[in-house]
Every structure is written in structure tokens, then in C-alpha cells.
Chain A
Amino acid sequence: MIEPHHECCAHHGHHHELVIENLTVSYRRVLALENVSLATSCGNRVALIGPNGAGKSTLLKAIAGLVPRSSGTILWRGTAVKKWSREFAYLPQREEVDWSFPITVRGLVEMGRYPQTGWWRKFSADDTAAVDRALESLALTDLQDRQIRELSGGQQQRTFLARALAQEAHVLLLDEPFTGLDRNASQLLGDLLAKLAHEGRLVIASHHDLNTVPLLFDEALVLATRPVAFGPVTEILTPELIDRTFREPATRP
């Protein structure tokens, strides 16, 4: 199932590293993220966990270049990412997407090729092949002519993953991908993310269900505006830490 064109660490000796240093983001005057640092490499699945408002979505958006950073740097494969990178793909929360938009599954996946084709160039045989491969690898070939609202939640999630694959993205940034999926669909998506990581991609996802973190992810970053802990899930998900992070903050002074 490994794609022939994908040149990443699964078939090379070296690792592609994502290094975030002292990332700080403020919305207007409110601090949303403060001094977040982490280093990971492709092949991993990283969970972002923390209470509501901890900055999980903000971190994903900051990596994708959707919100301006107040300070800090993001290095991908040793090069600073100024604003956005073609190798990063952002997958929005399902409720943020207008599913009644008149577009088919294939049309949505084709949008992933636009960074390659630019604004005008026609689709080449390569582009078409990339779209076919992406659909194939996420088992969407039979559904490619469906309007996107006619899909189940898991299929919708897969369509956006296919768009990211068509873009040949190496870093997948997913905002709450498991929210609203039933058990089967969750399991299927979990297997897919494992496969994508195994093929050499870096998967970073915000996640709110602590029980499933060890099953679905390799590493976790616990956030509460500031980073609380980062490391392999088995090491950092200790009861004390979870208790400390998710404890309701005192509302009265």
C-alpha cells in the first residue's frame, strides 16, 4: 500500500523533522498560545490534548499559516516556514465545512492539486493520476461522483484526507477528526491515520477523548495555552498530569 512516488522517511534512512520553537499567538489582546515548542518527525501521529480553549485549534492553524504568529519559528526539514507550506495540509472540523456546496468527491480532491497546477494550468496526466491514487488509497473511487453531503461522516473525513494526499502533503493537520464519528468509522479512520503515518507522513490532530489517545497516537502534546507536557503517549499520560491539566481553573480570585 506504500505509494511509489512518496519520498519520505519510511523508505529513507533520515527523518524529516518538524521543529516548533517558542511559538506564541495572540488574538487581539488575548493570548491563545504561549511559548509552545516541540520537535517531532514524520512517521509519527501526534495528539494535541487539553481542555477547551487550551489552544489546540490555534496551534494547528498557526502551523498551517492561518493565524499570524506573534513570535516563534516553525522549521520543516530544516527550513523555516514563513507563512504556509505546500507540504502542509489543513483539515477543518467537520462542522466548519459547507457540505451542501455543489461539488463532488472528485472535485474536492482535485482542489488538492491546485497548489501544483497553479491558478491556470490545465490538469496534466500526472495530476489526474495523483487524484486517482488519492481516491484509490482512501477507498473513495466508487464514491467519486457523489455530492459531498451524501457521504457519511467518516467518508467526508476521508475525502479531505484524499485532498491532502492529492496535494502530496507530508504534514497532515487535523482539527478534531474523530468528533461525531461512530465506533466503526472511528476505527477505520484510526487505521487510516496509522497507515498514512507508516507511509512516512506526520499526522498532527487535536483530540478530546483521552481514553482513545493511546490507541490512536504515538505522541501527545498536552496544552493549556502553555505546553504542559510533550512526549510518547505512554510516558506522559499520567493520571496526575491529566488531573492537573483538565482541572477547572479557579473562576474567582
Chain B
Amino acid sequence: MEIDLLTNPFYQRALATAGFIGFANGFFSGFVVLRRNALSVSALSHTMLPGIALGIFLTGALSQWNAFLGAMFAALLVGLGSVAVARGNRVEQGTALAVLYTAAFAAGIALLPKLDTRQELEHWLFGDIIAVGNADMWIAFAIGTFTLLITNLLMRPILLTLFEPNVAAAQGVPVKTMQYLVFTLLVLALVSSLQAVGCVLSVGLLVTPAATVSLLTDRTSALFWGGGLIGGVGSIAAVLLSGKFGIAPGPAIVIVLGLLFIAAYLFSPKYGLLAPKHR
């Protein structure tokens, strides 16, 4: 039976997509962990739902493109909006983000009854990697490749900025530009995993892999490549296992990544709970 599955084109596409998204988002999760803004990622992911709802509302139909564009538009609007509000020095960025994303989410909920595509919307909330079409796969590949390319090209200035923006600026790094860039790539990465794990669980793919690696090593570059490896291999394994256990692949991916994190938390040679005390 398993042999049948593996030769099934849907299944093959699902595996390829899971592996690639897992790798690209796992790689990018390094930046999320370094920026210590996992919570804002979570807020942004919730913003994608009202974005999708808005996309449907405006165009009257649920399609790949208006869902992607709606999600991206909403996440960018709320995210950059929070940065802009925080520049006033009166409201902290986390506060601004919480205000804006809950407002957007509420607007999305208010909009939902007016749409007659609620059934399909569930698919965007939780993802459905088996239903990934060729177009979805190529969108995910394109976004992932773009993100990987840009971050690798600009790795040094981005790292300098994330570590200590003042020292980076004193070395001539355009700090503001780097901060906006990382933010934009973050939104792109979130959108790329919509199809696979849905908007709520996309946070898991963008935080967990590098969080796991950070328990295992102090090497900065390992966060990215190790995160990519864990994300990619974990996602493929999860899709394979999901059939066996009869659970949906999207949640399976996040569960597997979560279990790997817990394993690292317990057994990491240096930072694990069960590691011999070295201090």
C-alpha cells in the first residue's frame, strides 16, 4: 500500500513541497530566533486570515492568487503599520502589533459570514498539502528560492544588524533597510507555507527548526543550515508518517518539529535538561 502512495503524483508533489517549504522556512527561522520576535510572527500569521477573507470579498472568488495576495497584503499592512506606530515612541511595537492584528482578525471574522466559501476557507486555516497543485508548488518554490537567495547574499549585513544595530550602523550597514527587508522576507515566508500548514500553524515552521538548533550549538551559521535541514527532513518525515497514523499532514509537520524540539530540550549535550551540569 505504501508503495502505491509513493508513486502517486499527488503524494510525490506533497513530499517535494513539504521538503522544500520545510527547508526554506527552517532556514529563515534562524532569523526569527535571532530577532527574538517569535510572538510577532505569530501575530502576523493570524493576520493572514482576514487578508484572505478580504481577498475573497473584493474579488468575489477564492483562488490561489487572491488568497496569497490578500494574506501578504494584510500581513505587510499590519506589520509595517506596527513599526510606523512604534516610531512615535509612545506605543511599544509589541503593543501596536497586538492592537492591529486583533482588530484585523476581528474584521476578518465579521467578514466571514458574508462570504459563501467558508468550507474552503478551512483549508487555508489549517492547510492541505496533499491537495497542493502544480501552481501552488511553483509559488512555494519561487518564494523559497527568492528568500534563500536574498538572505544568503546579504547574510553579513543582516547578522550585524540583528546582533547589535548600533555597532552595525557604525560599520556602515544600512540598518533600517535591513530591518525592513528581513520583515518583508518574513511575510513572504509565512505566505509560502499557507498551502502546506495553513495560516495558524505556519508559525511552527518559522520558529521551531532554529529554536531546536539553538539548543544544540552556538554557531550562528548552524542556525540557518541546521534549521533548514531539520525543517526539510522533519516535514518530509511528517508527511510520510501522517498517512500511517491517519492524521492530517499539516498538523503532523508541526507535531514532528515540536517533538524534535522537546528531544533537543531534554537531551542536548550542552544545554539539555538532562545534560551533565558544566557550571
Contacts and interface: CB of A to CB of B under 8 A. Distances in A.
A91 B170 CA distance: 9
A119 B157 contact: yes
Contacts of A173: 170
Interface stretch (B14-22, B47-55, B214-222, B243-251): B214-222
Contacts, number: 72
Given A98-B164, A101-B163, A114-B160, A65 B218 contact: no
Interface of A is mostly: mixed
Interface in A138-167: 147, 160, 163, 167
B179 to A, nearest CB: 14
Contacts of B170: 64-66, 84, 88-90, 173
Contact of B153 (A83, A117, A119): A119
Interface residues of A, number: 32
Contact residue range for chain B? 20 to 34
A90 B166 CA distance: 8
Interface of B is mostly: helix
Contacts of A102: 34, 214, 217-220, 223
B166 A66 contact: yes
B218 A92 contact: no
A86 B214 CA distance: 32
B109 interface: no
A96 interface: yes
Interface in B188-216: 214
B36 to A, nearest CB: 7
B182 to A, nearest CB: 15
Given A84-B169, A98-B163, A101-B163, 14 more contacts: A61-B166, A66-B166, A66-B169, A90-B166, A92-B166, A101-B34, A102-B217, A102-B220, A104-B218, A107-B219, A111-B160, A114-B160, A147-B218, A173-B170
30 contacts: A61-B166, A65-B169, A66-B170, A83-B172, A84-B171, A86-B171, A89-B170, A90-B166, A90-B167, A90-B170, A92-B166, A92-B167, A98-B36, A98-B163, A98-B164, A101-B34, A101-B162, A101-B163, A101-B220, A102-B217, A103-B163, A103-B220, A107-B219, A111-B159, A114-B156, A114-B160, A119-B153, A119-B154, A120-B153, A160-B167
